[in-house]
């Protein structure tokens, strides 16, 4: 397994680029199953989860051509409507093929999702929604088996709780269903709106994506399209925090500032100077003391749960006590123990973490437990005294494209050891 070796204490300065969104690219790749015509996607990040999804689509019947950051997918027919456990056990987004497979071929067999060990995944919401659309579903031996031999039919689906992948999955299923489907309490994340944009280019009739109510008029077939994936807001937010925690002057290019508005507002409260030199760039400068500020994770447009671990690392360097409340996942404080090994003063109490600072962090051997937790350890290591060795960085490779190379270009002393 690869490791990162980081020597901290260097302020990050310069410009750093944002890749395409992993969380937007995954459903877009799955959407290509809905048509036999070519679908071309640009700005696809080259990360582990994307490679896993591409291998899955090939097994299902797609022809996948990769050229740099562009991917063309053509699926003349569904050869095997199945997502096997051995292939998708490392990726929680495997459930995204469930809706497209049932809609296109009338059946699907999908392994329950794997990925990060950060809490329960609401796959039951996918199942409930597909049943409302007329699919017959049973669960057996760790798989979800769905059938709709006569096709899906439109319905009103009210999600008991907001689910991003559930909204995306049902939206893809509904575009080929007979009649109108209404999704209520739908996720409003930019990734949902980006997927809707692709589906509309393919011929789908969708209104309201990006709001809590999405209306879909089913069509008989979809065609090919070309689409550029939105920037990765979690990567952009991670880099913004990297500039802040190191006391640097960092410009994050190629992002959508509005997509990380909750984080940028929080950084300003903390005492970081945030400006927008261009419409697609954010400049972060942190020359003075940082102040502790409480934070609660929320669904978009609130503070993203995927930035909670990184924000906790930042709070170890802020003056005062910050209370961080996690409302999305029930097991997402595993990074706190590793941060404590580096000298952080963090106390966990149920769904909240109490962080007292500032604390001088020191280099140590730490282990990445999930994708975003590993990012928080990188951030802590950037400011820690001495050398930090981060093990199991395959977690970070799932969602960040060459993060060590990008950080090194702006001054970080970071290297990958195989």
The Cα-based distances of 47 to 234, 371, 393 in angstroms read 14, 12, 12
The DSSP letter of residue 61 is T
Neighbouring C-beta atoms of residue 320, cutoff 10 Å = 14
**Token digits for 63?**
């022809």
Given a contact cutoff of 8 angstroms between Cβ atoms, the answer to whether 32 and 62 are in contact is: yes
Which residue among 47, 116, 170, 175 is the active-site one?
Answer: 116
Given a contact cutoff of 8 angstroms between Cβ atoms, the answer to whether 302 and 309 are in contact is: no
The DSSP letter of residue 212 is S
**Of 140, 206, 138, 120, nearest in space to 170 by CA:** 206
Burial class (CB in 10 A: 0-12, 13-18, 19+), 86: exposed
Tokens 């995927």 belong to: 306
116 is catalytic: yes
Burial class (CB in 10 A: 0-12, 13-18, 19+), 372: buried
Using alpha carbons only, give the angle 122, 125, 130 rounded to the nearest 5 degrees: 140
Q: Tell me the sheet residues that pair with 83.
A: 110
Neighbouring C-beta atoms of residue 294, cutoff 10 Å = 16
Given a contact cutoff of 8 angstroms between Cβ atoms, the answer to whether 369 and 338 are in contact is: yes
**Token digits for 319?**
């003056």
Q: Which helix (H) or strand (E) holds 17?
A: strand 13-17
The Cα-based distances of 283 to 3, 17, 248, 250, 374 in angstroms read 29, 12, 10, 6, 24
Given a contact cutoff of 8 angstroms between Cβ atoms, the answer to whether 165 and 27 are in contact is: yes
Active site members: 116
């Amino acid at each position: 397994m690869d490791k990162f070796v980081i020597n901290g204490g260097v302020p990050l300065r310069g410009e750093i680029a944002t890749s395409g969104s992993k969380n937007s690219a995954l459903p877009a790749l799955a959407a290509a199953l809905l048509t036999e015509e070519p679908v071309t996607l640009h700005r696809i990040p080259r990360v582990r989860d994307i490679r896993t999804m591409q291998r899955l689509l090939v097994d299902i019947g797609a022809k996948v051509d990769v050229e740099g950051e562009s991917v063309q997918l053509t699926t003349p027919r569904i050869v095997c409507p199945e997502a096997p456990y051995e292939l998708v056990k490392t990726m929680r987004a495997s459930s995204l093929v469930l809706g497209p497979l049932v809609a296109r071929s009338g059946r699907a067999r999908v392994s329950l999702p794997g990925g990060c060990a950060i809490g329960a995944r609401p796959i039951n919401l996918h199942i409930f929604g597909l049943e409302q659309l007329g699919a017959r579903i049973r669960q057996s031996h760790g798989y979800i088996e769905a059938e709709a031999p006569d096709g899906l039919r439109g319905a009103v689906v009210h999600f008991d709780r907001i689910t991003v992948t559930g909204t995306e999955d049902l939206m893809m299923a509904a575009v080929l269903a007979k009649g109108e489907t209404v999704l209520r309490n739908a996720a409003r994340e930019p990734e949902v709106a980006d997927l809707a944009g692709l589906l509309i280019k393919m011929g789908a009739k969708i209104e309201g994506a990006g709001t809590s109510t999405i209306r879909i008029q089913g069509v008989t077939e979809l065609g090919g399209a070309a689409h550029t994936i939105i920037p990765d807001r979690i990567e952009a937010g991670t880099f913004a925090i990297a500039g802040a925690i190191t006391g640097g002057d960092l410009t994050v290019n190629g992002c959508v500032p509005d997509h990380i508005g909750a984080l940028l507002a929080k950084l300003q409260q903390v005492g970081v100077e945030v400006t927008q030199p261009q419409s697609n760039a954010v400049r972060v400068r942190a020359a003075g003391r940082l102040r502790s500020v409480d934070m609660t994770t929320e669904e978009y447009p609130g503070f993203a749960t995927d930035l909670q671990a990184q924000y906790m690392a930042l709070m170890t360097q802020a003056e005062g006590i910050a209370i961080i409340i996690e409302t999305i996942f029930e097991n997402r404080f595993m990074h706190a123990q590793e941060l404590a090994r580096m000298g952080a003063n963090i106390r966990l109490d149920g769904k909240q973490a109490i962080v007292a600072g500032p604390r001088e962090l020191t280099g140590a051997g730490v282990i990445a437990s999930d994708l975003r937790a590993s990012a928080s350890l990188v951030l802590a290591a950037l400011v820690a005294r001495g050398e930090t060795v981060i093990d199991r960085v395959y977690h970070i490779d799932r969602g960040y494209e060459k993060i060590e190379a990008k950080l090194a270009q702006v001054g970080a002393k970071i290297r990958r050891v195989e």
